[in-house]
């Protein structure tokens, strides 16, 4: 058995590159396992039942986890084989549950936290879907006109003995260059997009991009509330499972993506180590954590209900994100209609004006 377990660990590097599970698959796996454990099944039998229904990558993951568990290691050890699938939060919650004998309760807490995270993500994506479809359609139609329609009327405009408007000259210049150097322009555009997404992952660039996102009107408010909702939900869930704050903070920090919130909670960690409170550290950054949130956290610390206060804040900010994204989508729709109208009007003006000039001179 030890040989088999060692082979699982040796194959881990390759699987880190190949095996992936969607957020929905991980959520369903967590929910099903929580239900099975609640019914009284031991973890190995629960894994056997899930294995009978699993397919594809999930079956491979469960097989290796089952081998790890049956070899005498913990379920958390099996999850650690797949750090690209199960986050440090996930693993630490399960490890704490196994150590305290509250594995099923921790699975329920984890399932609830993941469900809220999934709902938050779906709300944001759903609210932005329609504006994105309209924008992509508008760009596609504009590109089609420039590439396929305008080149066919260039000769007509060349034959007209009239002074062309500036907008017409600009459109013709774009059409000519799009036809002559279309492939190069497309490759350069793709390279710039790829460079942008690569650059924003670089450590020196992240403070700039994260600062910009936090300070863009409307978007900054949504991003701030999203961060607060996720942090509150995660930290509250960890505390609810019985994990001490000194252990919960490093786990929370490990999954924070925004550099400014990471710095803030590293400061919280230092303040706590010196005997201070979370609220006293957070109140120094009102731009990241509003005073109302600081007050509720202070009340939670003073009354011993910090976990409940954090979960309340999480629900509050999730609702704020939901409302903000809906309002942003509502505001974007008329704005995009105006932009499309301007684009159509400019095209019509640029094409029709020279023709009217010729007709008027006859």
Q: What is the pLDDT of residue 1?
A: 46
All domains of the chain in start order, with CATH? 2-86 (1.20.81.30), 115-144+192-362 (1.20.81.30)
In this structure, what token pair is assigned to residue 280? Answer: 């006293």
Confidence of residue 213 (pLDDT cuts 50, 70, 90): confident
Cα–Cα distance list, 37 to 9, 45, 140, 159 (Å): 26, 9, 51, 81
Residue 18: in which H helix or E strand, if any? helix 12-18
Overall pTM > 0.85: no
- Residue 187: phi, psi to the nearest 5? -65, -40
The predicted-structure confidence for 5-64, as pLDDT tens digits, reads as follows 454 455 555 555 567 888 888 888 888 888 888 888 888 888 888 888 888 888 888 888
Task: Give buried/exposed letters for 108-128 (b at 16+ CB in 10 A, else e).
Answer: bbbbbbbebbeebeebbeebe
Q: What is the pLDDT of residue 321?
A: 86
Task: Give buried/exposed letters for 153-192 (b at 16+ CB in 10 A, else e).
Answer: beeebeeeeeebeeebeebbeebeebeeeeeeeeeeeeee
Confidence of residue 360 (pLDDT cuts 50, 70, 90): low
Q: What is the pLDDT of residue 160?
A: 66
**Average pLDDT over the chain, rounded to whole?**
82
Choose the most confident range, by mean pLDDT, from 87-91, 152-156, 330-334. Answer: 87-91
d(CA 73, CA 25) in angstroms, rounded, equals: 24
d(CA 337, CA 322) in angstroms, rounded, equals: 23
Q: What is the pLDDT of residue 361?
A: 60
The predicted-structure confidence for 263-309, as pLDDT tens digits, reads as follows 999 999 999 999 999 999 999 899 999 999 999 999 999 998 999 99
Confidence of residue 4 (pLDDT cuts 50, 70, 90): very low
The predicted-structure confidence for 102-142, as pLDDT tens digits, reads as follows 888 888 888 888 888 888 778 777 777 777 787 788 778 77
d(CA 30, CA 62) in angstroms, rounded, equals: 12
Closest by alpha carbon to 350, among 94, 146, 213, 187?
146
Q: What is the pLDDT of residue 297?
A: 94
């Amino acid at each position: 058995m030890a040989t088999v377990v060692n082979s699982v660990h040796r194959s881990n590097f390759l699987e880190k590159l190949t095996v992936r599970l969607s957020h929905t698959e991980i959520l369903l796996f967590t929910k099903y396992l929580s239900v099975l454990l609640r019914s009284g099944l031991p973890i190995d039998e629960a894994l056997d039942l899930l294995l009978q229904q699993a397919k594809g990558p999930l079956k491979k993951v469960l097989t290796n986890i089952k081998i790890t568990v049956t070899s005498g290691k913990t379920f958390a050890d099996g999850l650690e084989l797949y750090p690209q699938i199960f986050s440090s939060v996930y693993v630490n919650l399960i490890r704490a549950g196994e150590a305290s004998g509250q594995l099923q309760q921790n699975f329920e807490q984890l399932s609830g936290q993941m469900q809220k995270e999934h709902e938050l993500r779906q709300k944001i994506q759903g609210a932005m879907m329609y504006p994105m479809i309209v924008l992509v359609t508008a760009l596609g139609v504009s590109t089609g006109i420039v590439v396929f329609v305008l080149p066919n009327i260039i000769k007509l405009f060349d034959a007209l003995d009239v002074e062309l408007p500036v907008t017409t000259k600009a459109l013709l210049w774009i059409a000519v260059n799009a036809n002559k150097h279309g492939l190069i322009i497309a490759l350069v555009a793709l390279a710039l997009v790829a460079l942008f997404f690569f650059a924003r992952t670089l450590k020196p660039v992240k403070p700039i991009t994260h600062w910009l996102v936090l300070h863009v009107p409307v978007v900054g408010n949504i991003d701030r509330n999203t961060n607060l909702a996720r942090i509150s939900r995660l930290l509250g869930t960890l505390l609810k499972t019985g994990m001490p704050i000194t252990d919960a903070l490093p786990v929370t920090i490990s999954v924070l993506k925004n550099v400014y919130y990471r710095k803030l909670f590293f400061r919280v960690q230092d303040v706590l180590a010196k005997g201070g409170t979370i609220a006293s550290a957070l109140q120094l950054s009102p731009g990241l954590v509003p005073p109302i949130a600081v007050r509720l956290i202070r009340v939670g610390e003073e009354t011993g209900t910090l976990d409940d206060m954090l979960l309340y804040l999480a629900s509050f900010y999730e609702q704020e994100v939901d409302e903000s994204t809906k309002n942003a989508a509502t505001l974007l729709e008329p704005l995009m209609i105006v932009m499309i109208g301007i684009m159509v009007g400019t095209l019509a003006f640029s094409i029709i004006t020279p023709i009217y000039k010729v007709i008027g001179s006859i």
